[in-house]
């Protein structure tokens, strides 16, 4: 293992890089909920436009397994560090290009087509980024602290969400005509500054010592993804199932709530964005806390506790949102994201520990990313359709979320406890 100073540098670099990549990814989600339906699908009615915007949002999730497979292969064959640099570059360039993209009124149908292509590139990049960032933290960390170290990479997600919503909230506070004309582009164009910072930091870290040692001792499988599917199919399914509740609930709490609250309940967008901002800030503390707790109690008990809590909270969440009272709306999002943190905190170490070193990048990425389109990517789209079918009543969405939680509870219950396993 590397020395503590090296471990801290790697964790900080992974945290900052992940924050930047997820800023790029979440920025699109916020724009999908609030502005893309007007700019890229103006000929649709408001509901159809929102669903079309969420459909382009989902494209990024379907690209993530492809990115996980491609970057997982090269991450297991060549190394973790080079993949982190490549994925960051892909995400940054795609985000800036979205900010420069002409709208439907300017180039017609080519506008949504190009939007979908750039969203695919975003998803492809983030699909490979997660595995590399997590593995660098896990493989540098000492046994007994892996959950805590890896959870800081996870904490980059709410910080990215925090930054995306904060910047978007500032931009949307301007006159609506100016915002729809050019203001919405500013958050995307800021990605070029963040890209420079992230590249500078990631180029300075050293390769994973666990991977370096394993590569020196063994050439590893020729095609790591095939070795994963042959030797670890159960663990891939466990990771996928564990993701269902975590991913679906998260995007309902942070994306659907924006369109549902503003369009169907008539709440101010600023109130909803503030709720997500406060919840994200709380998660920055909660995720590392639950990661550290999983080092003491085990990955499974902490993860199961989070899934069970969110299953019970599905109906109360929507009751609180429907109240339209600012305090209850904020409290609903904060409580929901704390429950999510109980799963997301131990998740990085848990998934990494399910696989051996020479296939760990491929295995962890595959299990994590295969669930993304089925859970998180489709969640806002499915929830919007359910709301339409039920006349705007959210009980159907709550039932859908409970179903996601049941899948996760069964999957994690059937998993092995990994917190005491050696990585070698």
Sequence spans of domains, the chain = 4-414
Question: pLDDT tens digits, the chain, 424 residues: what are they?
Answer: 445 556 777 888 888 878 887 787 778 777 776 777 788 877 766 666 666 666 766 777 788 889 999 998 888 888 888 888 888 888 888 889 989 999 888 888 888 888 888 988 988 988 888 888 888 888 886 778 899 999 998 998 888 888 887 887 788 788 878 888 888 888 888 878 877 877 777 777 777 778 888 788 877 788 888 999 998 899 999 999 999 999 999 988 988 888 888 888 889 888 888 998 899 899 999 999 999 999 999 999 999 999 999 999 999 999 999 999 999 999 999 999 999 999 999 999 999 999 988 888 999 888 888 888 888 777 877 888 888 888 778 899 999 999 999 999 999 999 999 888 877 6
> Which listed CATH number (1.20.1250.20, 1.10.3720.10, 3.30.70.3290, 1.10.533.10) goes with 4-414?
1.20.1250.20
Cα(247)–Cα(63) distance, integer angstroms: 16
Radius of gyration of the chain (CA): 20
């Amino acid at each position: 293992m590397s020395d503590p100073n090296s471990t801290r540098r790697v964790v900080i670099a992974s945290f900052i890089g992940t924050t930047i990549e997820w800023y790029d990814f979440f920025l699109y989600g916020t724009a999908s909920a609030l502005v893309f339906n007007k700019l890229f699908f103006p000929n649709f009615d408001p509901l159809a436009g929102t669903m079309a915007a969420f459909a382009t949002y989902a494209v990024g999730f379907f690209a993530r397994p492809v990115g996980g497979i491609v970057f997982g292969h090269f991450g297991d064959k060549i190394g973790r560090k080079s993949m982190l640099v490549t994925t960051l570059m892909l995400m940054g360039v795609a985000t800036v290009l979205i900010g420069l993209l002409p709208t439907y009124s300017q180039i017609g149908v080519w506008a949504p087509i190009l939007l979908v292509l750039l969203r695919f590139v975003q998803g492809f990049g983030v699909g490979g980024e997660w595995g590399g960032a997590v593995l660098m933290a896990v493989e540098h960390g000492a046994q007994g602290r892996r959950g805590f170290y890896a959870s800081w990479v996870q904490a980059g997600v709410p910080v990215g969400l925090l930054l995306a919503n904060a910047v978007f909230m500032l931009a949307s506070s301007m006159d609506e005509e100016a915002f729809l004309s050019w203001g919405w582009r500013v958050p995307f164009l800021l990605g070029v500054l963040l890209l420079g910072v992230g590249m500078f930091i990631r180029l300075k870290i050293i390769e994973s010592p666990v991977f370096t040692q394993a590569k020196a001792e063994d050439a590893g499988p020729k095609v790591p993804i095939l070795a994963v599917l042959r030797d670890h199919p159960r663990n891939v399914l466990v990771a996928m199932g564990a993701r269902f509740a975590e991913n679906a609930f998260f995007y309902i709490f942070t994306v659907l709530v924006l369109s549902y609250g503003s369009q169907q309940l008539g709440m101010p967008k600023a109130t909803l964005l503030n709720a997500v901002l406060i919840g994200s800030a709380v998660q920055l503390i909660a995720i590392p806390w639950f990661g550290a707790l999983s080092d003491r109690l085990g990955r499974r008990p902490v993860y199961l506790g989070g899934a069970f809590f969110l299953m019970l909270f599905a109906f109360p969440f929507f009751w609180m949102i429907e109240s339209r009272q600012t305090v209850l709306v904020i409290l609903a999002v904060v409580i929901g994201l704390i429950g999510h943190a109980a799963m997301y905190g131990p998740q990085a170490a848990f998934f990494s520990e399910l696989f051996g070193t020479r296939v760990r990048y491929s295995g962890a990425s595959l299990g994590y990313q295969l669930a993304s389109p089925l859970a998180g990517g489709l969640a806002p789209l499915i929830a919007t359709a359910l709301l339409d079918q039920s006349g705007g009543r959210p009980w159907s969405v709550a039932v859908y979320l409970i179903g996601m939680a049941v899948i996760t509870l069964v999957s994690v219950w059937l998993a092995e406890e990994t917190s005491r396993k050696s990585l070698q």
